[in-house]
Structure 1
Amino acid sequence: IIISRTVHMFSFRHWLARQYVWFLIPYMIYDSYAMYLCEWYRTRDQNHRHSLTTFRNFLSKNRLMIAHHAVILFVLVPVAQRLRGDLGDFFVGCIFMAELSTPFVSLGRVLIQARADDLALKQQHTLLYKVNGILTLTTFLSCRILLFPFMYWSYGQQQGLSLLQVPFSIPFYCNVANAFLIAPQIYWFSLLCKKASRLFDSPLAKKDG
């Protein structure tokens, strides 16, 4: 969508901008359910029963992620499908790019779980885990954070404005919406950076010790 856009980004149309949403809806529902199952598996009792306590713990520990999914389902989906009319396919395509980092984040969780199930694996110190960590940070930074300055820059190129002029030339609610979207991404990226620093510092710490 982003690459194939024509000269005018506002009226540019691409079928994938609308059809992809029908994949996004079940994916978000599935992802929420999968997160709950992970919490249940980690805290399940001897009877292996689902309980209200487990569900409450899940909501408490994943408030930001659940809110993120809810905003996508109940705000972004209606906006992308109906409220924006026939405009903005380019920007919708940019937002979809955020999911490019998801496979690497998921693989990292799988490797962590594998290590938890078998301590002898030491997956966190394998080359695969480190390479995946680098790819996670790179794709997360470029597709979830730098994506927003890119959209502002693209708009500025269309309107003959500099990047710094764009926030003052668009409706205020656009800036507010983008701020709400990028804020959790910055928070999650900071957590990823902390994990990465521990991962790459641990071998050095062992050598120094």
Structure 2
Amino acid sequence: MFALMAAGSVFFPGMFLLSRLTLRFVMGWSEADATVVSVRGVSSVQGAMASAAGYIIASSCHDVMEDKHWLTDAYISFAAPYFVYDVFAMFLCHRHKRQQQEGAHVAAFVRREVLMVLHHAFMVLFCLPASLVWRRGKGDYFQGLLLLAELSTPCLKKEHTLLYKVNGALMLLVFFGCRVLLFPYLYLAYSRYVSLPIHQVVLEAPWQCNVGVVMLWPLQIYWLTLMCRRALRLLTRRSDADAKKTA
């Protein structure tokens, strides 16, 4: 476990540094552009890796509680350092976008990204021990489904690109399915396993699962709301621009 965490601690920052150096000194990009694109690239790679691992795990487990797959604990251990790295990477992006004094950088970053920082801290301080220790080797299927939520990671990182504008509806659907509908589905799958009505499953589910859902699900709904508002503003701007052109 610790060897995999050490490997992840080298892999994610190392990929970021290699990408940024390549973009700056080989491609001739500015430091700010190279940093932002490198951060997005590492996030996309992590999202793709986690989604692939999640699919392999979930599709290999027929008994949702008892079946095991070696990749479950392995990838969770390997990816844990990513959430620490990502906070620092988001801070670097913030620093390049906001040309302020060093002392104001951290305070402004925390104020602006407080929910994301708390989310990443919760993932490391609670979800990591819950996944590796407290569940006692059970529920690999559910761990695989949770990893599949990372399929929407590239959507979060590209909200202002042309791809987002063209495929905004598809991205919203992906986020809705992977981050919002996922949590009710976890309870539905467990209710089928224990043969109980879904409204009684909350009392039967492990406590760490309920705590995780209470902490994470509202954030996903909130971020989906923000994405819908941005998409609506984008459509409104386009409508106004088209109206001016035809006037």
Using the size of structure 1 for normalisation, the TM-score is 0.81
For 1:175 and 1:79, how far apart are their aligned partners in 2?
Answer: 11
For 2:243 and 2:197, how far apart are their aligned partners in 1?
Answer: 49
Q: Does 1:20 align with 2:82?
A: no
Structure 2 CA distance for partners of 1:65 and 1:86, relative to 1, 3 Å: same
Contact 1:104 1:136 (8 Å CA) reproduced: yes
Q: Does 1:59 align with 2:115?
A: no
For residue 213 of structure 2, the aligned residue among 172, 175, 178 is 178
Structure 2 CA distance for partners of 1:73 and 1:176, relative to 1, 3 Å: closer
Which structure has greater helix proportion? 2
Give me the identity figure in percent.
36
For 1:30 and 1:172, how far apart are their aligned partners in 2?
Answer: 28
Structure 1 alignment gaps of length 5 or more: 112-122
Contact 2:188 2:198 (8 Å CA) reproduced: yes
The answer for the alignment partner of 2:165 in structure 1 is 130
Using the size of structure 2 for normalisation, the TM-score is 0.69
Contact 1:17 1:93 (8 Å CA) reproduced: yes
Structure 2 CA distance for partners of 1:71 and 1:172, relative to 1, 3 Å: closer
For 2:85 and 2:206, how far apart are their aligned partners in 1?
Answer: 34
Contact 2:155 2:164 (8 Å CA) reproduced: no
Equivalences for 1:106-145 in 2 at 5 Å? 106-109=157-160, 111=161, 123=162, 128-145=163-180
For 1:190 and 1:148, how far apart are their aligned partners in 2?
Answer: 17
For 1:23 and 1:108, how far apart are their aligned partners in 2?
Answer: 27
For 1:16 and 1:157, how far apart are their aligned partners in 2?
Answer: 25
For residue 189 of structure 2, the aligned residue among 154, 157, 182 is 154
For 1:25 and 1:175, how far apart are their aligned partners in 2?
Answer: 21
Structure 2 CA distance for partners of 1:74 and 1:106, relative to 1, 3 Å: same
Runs of 4+ residues over 6 Å off in structure 1? none
For 1:62 and 1:101, how far apart are their aligned partners in 2?
Answer: 19
State the superposition RMSD in angstroms: 2.0
For 1:173 and 1:18, how far apart are their aligned partners in 2?
Answer: 17
Paired residue total:
188
Shift of 1:137: 0.9
For 1:144 and 1:129, how far apart are their aligned partners in 2?
Answer: 18
The answer for the alignment partner of 1:35 in structure 2 is 90
Structure scoring higher RCO (CA < 8 A, sep ≥ 6) equals 2
Contact 1:104 1:135 (8 Å CA) reproduced: no
